Structure 1
Amino acid sequence: MKGITRSRSLVMNVSLTPELEQFVREKVKIGRYPSASEVVREALRLLEERDRSSKLSWKLCKRKLWLELSRSSVGTLWMAKQSL
């Protein structure tokens, strides 16, 4: 079909601890996910989301710190030294 692109699925085998394997089996057993692959995909999506959120939080923290430094006399002196 025109305009639709399909991504290739990568087949990958992973090793899990017995505890994680049981966790995955339970999620499938209770019907939360249709397969172990779906459990792993959801876990990876959440990890990716957490990583993005952490990066954003770090950027905001650095901006706040820079703003506070620029407002203080110590920060002004420090920034002046940085530009030398």
Structure 2
Amino acid sequence: MARRRSGTEEFLGDIVEALKAYGGAAHRSLIVERVALSRDRRGDPRPADIDIVQLFERHCDGSGRDLFRLPFGAGSHRWALAGAH
């Protein structure tokens, strides 16, 4: 029997899928919008924009759980998958 993913895992998966849809990197506003639309289509609860941003930051460069990175540095609002160029 498959284990059900936690809400955090689902939101992380949504961020990863949104970034993949944009080739591995995109502006933060596009990712937040795509996550919300994806969750709406599935009938899943929509997280607040700030929750998506905070989750990204907890799994970003230097967090020890690096799934994501800021390719143009802090303040650019450009998000990327850790392995994307």
Q: TM-score, normalised by structure 2?
A: 0.25
* Larger proportion of helix: 1
More RCO (CA 8 Å, sep 6+): 2
Q: TM-score, normalised by structure 1?
A: 0.26
